[in-house]
Amino acid sequence: MNFKSLLGKFFQKCTMTSLLEELRMSTHSKKMSKHFIKLSIQPRILVDVSRIDMSTVILGHKTSAPIILAPSSAHQLAHPEGEVATARGAAACNVIMGLSFMSTCTVEEVASSCNAVRFFQIYVFKKRDVTEFMVRRAEKNGFRAIILTADTPRLGRREADIKNKMISFRLRNFEGFISTDVVSDKGSNLAAYAEETLDPSLCWKDIAWLKSITKLPILIKGVLNGEDAMKAIEAGVVGIIVSNHGARQLDYSPATISVLEEVVQAVQGKVPVLLDGGIRRGTDIFKALALGAKAVMIGRPVIYGLAAKGESGVKQVIEMLKNELELTMALAGCCTVDDITRSHVKTEKERFLCKM
């Protein structure tokens, strides 16, 4: 039996529940979960929760739940339909999708696949015309916002990619425009490609340049402290994404949930704050909202669902998280997401002080 057949039989036998449970037990997830576990939920009783409304408005767009599909690259490595299947799954659940600059389906293919709200994530390349070209394509094809990933002046040392001699995948957005073929003896062609293309000189003043080439609102992804959050607002972004790039960039960078409140307090409600990283359960979403996040972004769970069952797998993952959030809200005495407040969670320190 060849590997492809074996893989197909494996996924046929896997349920979405078992796949998500495997994801929740991964090394990265365990580290992130430790920080979520430190937060306890403080429920309110005798509240009429016969009707739960999880809907929210993100940058003027109403969604069924405070969930956004995080931009992640190369979905065709997980499923032949790639980002098109992911987009349809998100649209079916009425949640926003973030499409990666490094997608394996084109901007046009994703845009024409279904009618939905989508944001487009970008890196700034040394050749600025490449980034400008992609931003204009996204705007032309109906994307509603730009997500600037700002934590990757260089690619982090991804030892698994080096060990497995990762090759750069087919980036169809760039076909006929720039080459994605890079030869390297460093173990990972992807790392070599990033080194050749990413602009390490990117700084705050470049946001003004980005604003000059598009009318779309700009969110910044990769903020991990209050000081950078304030600088981002001064630079003119309309949203802040607290993210550590899936813990794949800088070793020992903080868990995003552990710095969320610092960022929220620094922002003072001037722009929405989104949390990216570590979301595996509806209770995680609830805790993030209680600490001030407007919504959360989910990445790995979506890829697991896509790999298992394509579009329907993506829908199942989203619906599982929505169902868990709805139940958590009901048990915590919250009828709407606006009812979820800081008083609904306590940190270890707060619980300790209560005992004194």
35 is in an annotated binding site: no
243 is in an annotated binding site: yes
The pLDDT of residue 152 is 80
Residue 161, H or E segment: helix 159-163
- 178-189: string of b/e by CB count within 10 Å (b at 16+)? eebebebeebbb
28 is in an annotated binding site: no
Token pair in block for residue 208: 């003004």
Instruction: Please give the chain's pLDDT, 356 residues, in tens.
Output: 344 443 444 444 445 555 555 454 455 556 677 889 999 999 999 999 999 999 999 999 999 999 999 999 999 999 999 999 999 999 999 999 999 998 999 999 999 999 999 999 999 988 999 999 999 999 999 999 999 999 887 776 776 766 766 666 677 777 766 665 555 556 566 666 777 788 889 999 999 999 999 999 999 999 999 999 999 999 999 999 999 987 777 878 899 999 999 999 999 999 999 999 999 999 999 999 999 999 999 999 999 999 999 999 999 999 999 999 999 999 999 999 999 999 999 987 777 676 66
CA distance 322 to 326: 6
Count the neighbouring beta carbons within 10 Å of the beta carbon of residue 83: 30
The dihedrals phi and psi of 282, each to the nearest 5 degrees, come to -60, -30
248 is in an annotated binding site: yes
Q: State whether the Cα torsion 22-27-31-34 is positive or negative.
A: positive
333 is in an annotated binding site: no
> How does strand 40-41 pair with strand 345-346?
antiparallel
CA distance 147 to 219: 5
Does this model's pTM top 0.85? yes
88 is in an annotated binding site: no
3-153+198-355: CATH superfamily: Aldolase class I (3.20.20.70)
DSSP string, 235-302: HT-SEEEE--GGGTSSTTPPPHHHHHHHHHHHHTTSS-EEEES---SHHHHHHHHHTT-SEEEE-HHH
Please give the radius of gyration of the chain, using alpha carbons only, rounded to the nearest integer.
20
149 is in an annotated binding site: yes
158 is in an annotated binding site: yes
Cβ distance 257 to 281 under 8 Å? Answer: no
300 is in an annotated binding site: yes
Backbone conformation region of residue 61, classed left if phi is above 0, alpha if psi is from -120 to 50, else beta: beta
Cβ distance 240 to 229 under 8 Å? Answer: yes
CA distance 135 to 254: 30
Return the domain boundaries, the chain. 3-153+198-355
CA distance 301 to 78: 12
Q: Residue type for 269, please?
A: G
193 is in an annotated binding site: no
Active site residues: 245
